[in-house]
A and B are shown apart, each in its own frame.
Chain A
Amino acid sequence: MDSLTNLIDGFGVILTPANLLYVLLGVMIGTVIGVLPGLGPTATIALLLPFTYGMEPTSAIIMLAGVYYGSMYGGTITSVLLRIPGEAASAVTAIDGYEMTKAGRAGPALAISAVGSFIGGTIAIIGLILIAPSLAGFAVRFGPPEYVTLTVLGIVMVTYLGTKSTLKSVIAAAIGLLLAVVGTDPIAGTTRFTLGLPGLFSGIDLVAVAMGLFGVSEILYVMERSGQSHGKIGEVGRLTFSREDWKASRGPITRGSLLGFPIGVLPGGGGVLSSIASYGVEKRRSKHPEEFGKGAIEGVAGPETANNASSISAFIPLLTLGLPSNAVLALILGALMAQNITPGPQLITAHPELFWGVIASMLVGNLILLLLNWPMVGFFVQLLRVRIGIIGGIAMLITLVGVYTLNNSTFDMWVMLIMGVLGYFMRKFGFEPAPLVLAFVLGAILEESFRQSMLLSDGSLAIFATRPISAVLSVFVLVFIASSIWGAVRKDKKPSIIDQAKELAGED
């Protein structure tokens, strides 16, 4: 067991007071910025980066890594309590988590998130130790055609997220896809649909869209009646999950780990895709899919686990191939470069103390996060004792200034407000915002990959069927659509093709 001795050496590296402090500092900053809407891990790490230039390389990386996965924990809290997703990955959690809060089950939602995140993170770290190099080699083969089929699968799942009519979900998703088109064309480099506003040249910011459609619209909705603003969002209720909750969540947590891990390794993949996939799979597998969107704990446990697992496995391409798989990891790559360390295939042999130190720090960091977050549930749910009108005002202030920090521009504040109004009216007309937000996320990846695929195949759509991974994913898409239609035809609320859904979950 080479890995084991190496890992023990890794613990030797980080179990020094200074490095433990950096882990603690990292995960705490991560939690805070995860809680604060707007400020995401990318912006925070960019702010912290210059400070790390003077630090030991290992210390620098373990702190920045802590900020990253710590923010995954933190983002959950506002999603669940206020329906304000602090970052994209927790947008899915906002669906059922907030419903649980309204039903007085905020405690169980937050507690299961903390536990699920810990389990997902830990399983991903073990996966990282055991199969990182071979998995990374596989992941790079994931090219544009595979992305097209994966994101199409994601969008099909997204339209299935809603609790209301499928037609309305499809319309919301299509609008999300169109909003994603605004800005600079990913292939041609020209600008589209910008209405001449410079603020739109680089597209609409996802965080502004998500917080507007979920958070702001919710506050506007609550403020509708003067009587309501003196009410509460929900009762405080019990602080942790019950035995039944745990039984319901075990499966989603396990599957969430197994789904989130490989998706995180994919270049450009990560958080949101993994939580969407987990939500879709859980709803499909569930014996009571109609409860999803109305406070099903499975809809919190699975996605939260998956996004944490993916945030850990996202380090694999960076540490083993030197390839950052998303913006946050590109910054961490920058931190390594500034330390004169070349991440790449040679990193593990050239700097074992760094590689194994970072891995050991992730195990420690995840444990700290669990110990930090579980007891904090009791503290956070006390927020629910405050009247809605007050919470709403404070939440709006923090959300607005948080959105400002995205680009230091009031433009994003306006975008968020407009999205809030849109979300309010959508809700009044029985449309759900979730398909719009999630399709918006996937839309940019889908279009770029689709057009790259067409360039690669000289315009032949056969490319999606002839490449093996893509072909398998295409089959999943077809199975998913076919079984949805079949289910609709039979007017049977229960999923009729559980076997196929199991296959779907098992294969991933």
Chain B
Amino acid sequence: MSKSKVLAAFVAGASLLVVTACGGSDGASSSDEFPSDDVNMIISYAAGGPTDVGGRAIASFMEKDLGTTFVVENKEGASGSVGTADVLRSDPDGYTIGMTTASAAGRVPLIEDVGYDLEDVQAIGVGTFGPGLIIVSADSGYSSIDDLIEEAKANPGGIKVGTAGASSPQHVELVRMAEEYDVELTAVPFQGEAPAVTALLGDNVDACFCSNAQTTMAQVDAGEFTILATGAPDRLGWIPDVPTLAESGFESLIYGNSYFILVAPADIPEDVLATLEGSLEKALQDPATVEVIGEVRILDEFMGADALQEMMGDEQETLGPILTELLG
């Protein structure tokens, strides 16, 4: 559904510049206490999606915490790059921030010319987290990731794994699994996580490498699905017994995850960044916010500006070649 409309981004971005320039020029010099004006939060995916739900929950906490109004707006399109471009093109004063994904900020610029690069991004921190999960039907006969891998080795390409799309982080990891470890699972891309999960539910695929969207978790909670492994770098607090791919013999496969992150344009003042980062961290400890987002979507340990920026840099370096080969 995502609309690649760089033209639209350009027009919208230009008009946004005018708006922010007029609105922010009088009160927003960084010597003032931040924030002294409304904060615009641009969500670069459509209303109702995980970025939107998480972003709005976080905005409504930060609003109270920082004592200012957050004006939340969805600006979807082109795998999140339209909204992200708008944010990165705005004044670096902290009054325009964005809720987007690590993929839109770091991966999409590698594949398409979206008018920005990771260098233009100042990460504020991870809002919500969608770890990659390898899932099978409860009655599939696979009780561990090792079962699945053994079967894949015995029968290369015989196991069909649904993913949320050819450019989803999980799909890319399956390609890397075949290239780097010679373990061949056939990745079958669908248009999003829900159709992939539907295919698993109907036994049209043998497994899914998706994430923890509500649709997926509903089936896990209902006992239909079993989680065999996670693509996260470390085990997850809510499923401590489920191994990571990295500890199952695939040391380098730690990037099959979605990070829904808060970003600002590069060069925002240090103190403003610290204020936003601190408020985000508090939001993720606030019980009401956690309840809306869902505990399974919050990192066990808060990942702030520096750690996130570093992770995205590493990810770009590791995945750059394969992404351009696959999708460029």
Contact = CB atoms under 8 A, between A and B. Distances in A.
Note whether A and B contact each other (Cβ less than 8 A): yes
B178 interface: no
A345 interface: yes
A139 B199 CA distance: 10
Contacts, number: 156
Interface stretch (A25-33, A332-340, A496-504): A332-340
Contact of A411 (B7, B78, B202, B291): B7
A189 B191 contact: no
Contacts of B219: 321-322, 344-345
A193 interface: no
A327 B1 contact: yes
A317 B78 CA distance: 28
Given A189-B166, A322-B215, A452-B190, A334 B5 contact: no
Contacts of A47: 47
B297 to A, nearest CB: 11
Interface in B54-89: 56, 72, 74, 77-78
A141 B166 contact: no
A18 B47 CA distance: 25
A188 B4 contact: no
A346 to B, nearest CB: 6
A382 interface: no
Interface in A144-167: 144
A113 to B, nearest CB: 28
Nearest to A197: B7
A335 B204 contact: no
Nearest to B187: A455
A46 B47 contact: yes
A202 B79 CA distance: 10
Contacts of B198: 140, 267, 317, 321, 323
Nearest to B4: A201
A335 B72 CA distance: 16
A334 B49 contact: yes
Given A334-B52, A456-B204, A409 B11 contact: yes
Given A50-B72, A327-B1, A455-B160, A342 B221 contact: yes
B12 A202 contact: no
Contacts of A334: 47-49, 52-53
Interface string A346-358: 1000000000000
B188 A456 contact: yes
Nearest to B326: A189
A214 to B, nearest CB: 22
Contact of B56 (A53, A335, A344, A345): A53
A342 B217 contact: yes
B202 A142 contact: yes
Interface in B301-328: 326-328
A272 to B, nearest CB: 16
Interface in B169-210: 186, 188-192, 194-195, 197-199, 201-205
B166 A188 contact: yes
B1 A344 contact: no
A342 B215 CA distance: 8
A408 B11 CA distance: 9
B203 A198 contact: no
B165 interface: yes
B186 to A, nearest CB: 6
A144 B203 CA distance: 11
A333 B214 contact: yes
A198 B215 contact: no
A199 interface: yes
B247 interface: no
A324 interface: yes
B4 A335 contact: no
B47 A331 contact: yes
A342 B191 CA distance: 21
Select the residue from A200, A327, A409 with max chain B CB neighbours within 10 A. Answer: A409
B222 interface: yes
Nearest to A329: B194
Interface in A299-321: 317, 321
A199 B7 contact: yes
A184 interface: yes
A314 to B, nearest CB: 13
A331 B215 CA distance: 13
A49 B47 CA distance: 7
A50 B8 contact: no
A336 to B, nearest CB: 8
Contacts of A342: 214, 217-218, 221
Contacts of A448: 191
Interface in B213-252: 214-215, 217-219, 221-222, 224
A186 B47 contact: no
A268 interface: yes
B204 A340 contact: no
Contacts of A190: 327-328
Contacts of B222: 344-346
A165 to B, nearest CB: 35
Contact of A198 (B5, B53, B56): B5
A237 interface: no
A135 B306 CA distance: 50
Given A189-B165, A198-B7, A143 B202 contact: yes
A141 B202 contact: yes
A408 B215 CA distance: 30
Given A456-B160, A458-B157, A411 B217 contact: no
Interface in B1-57: 1-8, 11-12, 46-49, 52-53, 56
Contacts of A324: 194, 215
A322 B292 contact: no
B218 A322 contact: yes
A330 interface: yes
A49 B73 CA distance: 12
A120 B215 CA distance: 29
Contacts of B197: 323
B218 A50 contact: no
Contact of B194 (A49, A139, A330, A335): A330
A46 B204 CA distance: 31
B167 interface: yes
Contacts of B204: 141, 143-144, 456
A189 B167 contact: yes
Contacts of A332: 48
A344 to B, nearest CB: 3
A495 B193 CA distance: 44
Ranked nearest first, the 6 interchain pairs of A and B with the lowest CB-CB distance are A334-B48, A344-B218, A201-B4, A143-B204, A189-B166, A140-B202
Interface of A: 46-47, 49-50, 53, 139-144, 184-190, 198-202, 267-268, 317, 321-324, 327, 330-335, 337-338, 340, 342-346, 407-411, 448, 452, 455-456, 458
Given A333-B215, A338-B56, A346-B222, 5 more contacts: A144-B199, A202-B78, A344-B218, A344-B219, A407-B77
25 contacts: A46-B48, A49-B47, A50-B72, A143-B204, A186-B166, A199-B4, A199-B6, A201-B4, A201-B112, A202-B4, A323-B215, A330-B192, A331-B48, A332-B48, A334-B48, A334-B53, A340-B292, A343-B218, A407-B5, A411-B5, A452-B190, A455-B160, A455-B186, A456-B188, A458-B157
